[in-house]
Structure 1
């Protein structure tokens, strides 16, 4: 555990980063804070001293301690971009980061990378860390964008400090930041349409709905059924949250596979390739084959889509392209002190990649 004065220091910093304490506002007295934190006044004094030395606070003789303005601690040209994604080292994220880095490094910028693990508390910690650094801008993938944003005050602090920022893959509905993303709704539509055109009339969908990507993919999946007049059975859609992704969809897949052949869904659309690959094992263990007994569609066209013996039909996510465009947009925001209206919502058309995991519905071959 960190020393007590460090804990006090970090708490005061969180007040500043969340705008609980505004620039020029006065802190409580050392006596009041020592009681609030249940520590000695010397501990409080040590924490305040470091914050003053680092430029977060300043003292006025006979009046007290106050929050410094941004100009007191920010250099004119930090040349550093904060990049926050839900994950960094796996799945599609290395390609996104590579696209961002390749462009920004050529322009003399450094990246400050962090990830949230799709956990709002970790997102808060990332934002606090970034707000403690001199930054030129922030590129961020929202955490659980399908739910209420508990870190709104930190984003408002970013705006109040006039730090350029943009979101990738999704956007919190309450924030008006520029956003670069794939058309997830259209992607979900294309996946279901592909199976319907192959003759499948009993489809199942698996969607993670604590982020907007999953919500929109599910919306497109439902829309395809409506367009083609295909009945969507109430128990055909499985929704789950990040914390449930390793168990709930697999459990539901096993239940679907245990149904009678005439009732079992013959085409599955999954939230992403990662889940699709895991479901392959469930299908094999049920003694069924892909695509003869069941067709499977992933999403993202990640490296996993071609890593198994059965190559996945999937929806392409423009990973590196999105990273490059994010870097370009960020540079425009920094250099032009704003962003172009066309960059407010840059939506990339999805592309269906057909491989071995989909085929005609059983009984429709020929």
Structure 2
């Protein structure tokens, strides 16, 4: 069955190969203890894919028909690494250095395993060092970083600047001949294979994106537009960094004036954006159409949207009302034929966004995004 797996399937996570268990590739703490001994043994890639000692993951096995459905598979990218090394006759890190990083002047990117002295510590900060991992904004993880023999899936060390050099080269390749990647290959790479997934990249009609999540504490994302006009990257060295990164990504789109990148992570996950406390909300005459009681469809949960002295407020039961501000995320003029009038977020820190919309025939509509559950609630007018 495995002979039916293609390179395209491995790239698009449709090969049927499983990932390496619930934790993906968690990496190995190979820092030294007080006695100078390594804390863990580091397997080679073959041992990691086989799940044999000293690996900390399950064996990679074929679990579905090749080409059937999307299922993230870091193991599939491990197989790709073996193929590249066999074809090129070089270690994967050297291939990437020669054909990608050097070619694109990505001076701070590598797949090579960093040495201990290259790592940041609390007392050693510098441009040539790596950021250590944190649980939150101030508590460092026990291991400053982990090492991954599964380099292609989990071993990239880079910076936002370097990643933007990469996506810029891809953008140019889409529109220019003789760019970094042949134009036909660039277009093929970003063709959707299954819902939202291309070859190595997630895609929408307008953008391509890739996120990164490494244990014990790094969360990252890069996105770029097909037209070549937009690109943005955030990288955090915190296990809790993805939420704040998505909020920053949304705010950057808002401040620069980009259209909202449809169906990206911060929308799909209902990450509630920051508030723009300087923006003027819709005036009372506009808000009047939406003021009143609204009920969540299918439940008895009700909210009251009101306007006081020209400022919109949201009230739930007998609890204190919440002041609403304009949401700081990219512009979105319509959604499924409905006009988006305003997106409003609570001033008090509640992870809730109120979206007021207008149907094609002028009917007032409302949604509520719940950042706690990640759900979009359709609201129905009560009074």
TM-score, scaled relative to structure 2? 0.26
TM-score, scaled relative to structure 1? 0.27
Structure 1 or 2: more strand by fraction: 2
